[in-house]
Chains A and B, each alone.
Chain A
Amino acid sequence: MISSFDNKGFASDDFFRLEQERIFSKYWIFVCFKFMVDQPNRFATRDIAGVPVLVQNIGGEIQAFRNVCAHRQRKLQDEDFGTRKMTCKYHGWHYGADGKLLAVPYNDEYYHLSQEDICKIKLESFRVEIVGEFVFVNLDKDPIAIDKQFSQEMTDLLKDLSGHFNREMLISKFSFNANWKLVNEVLRDNTHIPFLHTRSLFSQLDHKVDPPPEDHGQRSSRIPDVQEISGGGLTHIFNDDKHPVYADKVNRWGDVDGYFEWRFFPNLHVVCPRGGYGFSIEYHHPIAPDKTQATVYMMTAATKANIPASFLWGQMKGARVVLDEDYGALEAVQAVVGQAPGHSVLGGGEHEMSALRNLIASLVRGVR
C-alpha cells in the first residue's frame, strides 16, 4: 500500500549522484546502433553518468573510450555521430586502436616527448558489448556480465528486432523537467491512458486493465533481480485496422496488429508502435534530478521500396503528441514530488513499479 520508497529519491541531488555512481556507472548502457559505427572511422558519442563516452570504429573494430584528449583535454569528437578519425581538433594529436597515441605533430620541434612516453599514453577505454544492433558500454572496470543484466529472452529479442531494422533512421532529442524514474514508471502504467491520452492513444485502443497476480503483495515488497526488471511485450491491440501508410513497402516484424513495448533496465525503451512495421527506440538520459533528455530513434522495418522522409517525421510528430501528454503529467509530479507526503500509495497492479523502486533504492544504498 504505502510505498517504502522515499520520494526524495525523485528530487534530491544526493540520490541522483548515487544513482549515477551505482547504477549508470555499473550497468550496461545503450550508446548507439552497430550500423552507425560499422565502417572504419565512424563514431557515436554519449554522456553516461557525466562521463563523455566515444564509441569509435578503428580499422573495423568497435571500441569505447573516454571522449577526452590526453593532451589538454579537448573533446575528441564533437558530434553525436559521424565519420572522422580520432584526431584532436586542438593540436592534432592522433589516436589509434586501443586508444594509443600514434602521432604528435611538432613533437621533435616542440614537445620533446620520448618515444617511450608516447607509447605509454592511451585514452581511457571502456568495455563494449554488442547485442544484435544494440551497442552497450559499461563504465565499470570490472563490469557485470551483460547476461546478468538482461535475460536470454531479452537479448534474443534485441537480436530478433535488430534483424528487421531499416538503415534509414530518424534521430530526435528533447528534454523535459522530470526525473528519469518517473518516465520508467509511466511506461509501466496502464491506468493513465484513459486520462492522459483521452483523445490520442485511448481512442485507438481496445483498452483493458488486467488484474494483478495473486502474489502481488509479495512481488511488491521484494527486491527483484536486476534481470527480472527488464521486460514487456504486447501491450495493446488496436481497435481499427489502420496500418502505417508505408505498410506495404516494408517486411514487418511479426504479424500482430498491436502496440508492443519493452523496457531494458535502466533507461532504454523499445517500442513497436503499430504492428511491427516500424520501431521507436527511446533512451532516457538523466541530466539532473528534475531533468531528463529523451533521444528517440525511429526506423521502419526493412524496406522493399523507398519511403519518403516525411513519413518517419510524421510518425515522430505523432508520437510526440502522446509523449508530451505523458511528460506534462510527469512535470506536474516533479514540481511537488520531493515534498510531503514523502511516500506514494501503490496498488497491487503496480507491483512491478514497487519492485523497480525497491531495486533502485537497494542499488543506491549499495546493499546489492
Chain B
Amino acid sequence: MSGTKLIVIGVAPHAAEVAAIARETTPERVIELVDLIETAPFEFDLTCLDALDPASCEVFLALDARAVNFSRTYLLSEIKGRGLKMARLVSSRASVPQDLKLGENSVIYPGVVVMTDVTIGYNAVVRTGCLLEIGCKIGNSAYLESGAVIGPYTVIGDNTTVGNRVAVGANIKVGKQCELLTAMTYVNNIPDKTFYVDGYDGPTRIVRF
C-alpha cells in the first residue's frame, strides 16, 4: 500500500495530526494534506475530490469530534462513491496486536494500547493514550478522546464519543450516538442517544415515544 500516495482530506488541526501520524509511521510514502472547506455548517466543498485518481492513491478523511456523528459518515459515502480507496492508520508508536480488526478510515494515535480480540469499526478515531481491553468492540465512527479506557468485552456503539480520561467498565453496552464526556467510570449499560456532559443534572437523553 505504501506504493500509493496517501491523501489526507480534512480540517485542521485533526487532519494535520493524522498526516503527522502517517508521516512518522510510513516515512517513505508520499502524503498530501488537502484542506476541506466547510461552506456552511455541515456542508463541504467536495471539488477537491474530483482531481483524485482511484488507481494511484488512498484517501483518509480526517474530521474532528464536532462533526463525528453526521458529516463524516456522509463524506465517507461521497468519497467511496467516487471509487476511491480508504486508508487505515495505526501509529508506529501504538501497541496493537496482530489480530486487531480495524475498519477503513480509522486511525489509532500514538500511545494507544490495544489488547487481543478487539474490533474497531470504520471511521473511528482512537486518540493518544487510550487503553482498549481484551475483547472490546468499538463501533463505526466512534471517537475515543485521549486517555479513554474501554473495559474487557465492552461494546461502544456507532457514532459514540468517549471523553478525556473516561473509563467504561467491563461487559458494558454503550449505545449509539452517545457522548460520555463527564470524566468518571461508567458501570451501567447506556441506551442510544444518551449524553453525559458536565453542568447537567444527570444525562440528557433523546427518546422516541
Contacts and interface: CB of A to CB of B under 8 A. Distances in A.
B207 A313 contact: no
Nearest to A296: B204
B177 interface: yes
Given A309-B193, A310-B70, A245 B41 contact: yes
A199 interface: no
A312 interface: yes
Interface string B75-115: 00000000000000000000000000000000000000000
Interface string A308-322: 111111001000100
A173 B204 CA distance: 7
B6 to A, nearest CB: 28
A174 B200 contact: yes
Contacts of B179: 313
Contacts of B177: 308-310
Contacts of A173: 200-202, 204
A33 B177 CA distance: 24
Contact of B209 (A167, A175, A293, A316): A167
B206 A309 contact: yes
A293 B207 contact: no
B201 A167 contact: no
B199 interface: yes
Contact of B70 (A81, A293, A308, A316): A308
A169 B204 contact: no
Nearest to A167: B209
A174 B197 CA distance: 11
B69 interface: yes
Interface in A282-333: 293, 308-313, 316, 320
A167 B208 contact: yes
Given A309-B193, A310-B69, A310-B70, A36 B200 contact: no
A199 B53 CA distance: 44
A287 B206 CA distance: 25
A90 interface: no
B208 A172 contact: no
A170 interface: yes
Nearest to B69: A310
A106 interface: no
B201 A174 contact: yes
Nearest to A311: B70
A201 to B, nearest CB: 17
Nearest to A295: B201
Nearest to B71: A310
Given A308-B70, A308-B177, A310-B177, A170 B204 contact: yes
B205 interface: yes
Contact of B206 (A33, A35, A38, A170): A170
B44 interface: no
A171 B208 contact: no
B13 to A, nearest CB: 21
A282 B97 CA distance: 50
B209 A36 contact: yes
A359 B116 CA distance: 68
B195 interface: yes
A309 B204 CA distance: 12
13 contacts: A167-B208, A168-B209, A169-B206, A170-B205, A170-B206, A171-B206, A172-B204, A174-B199, A309-B193, A311-B70, A313-B179, A316-B204, A320-B199
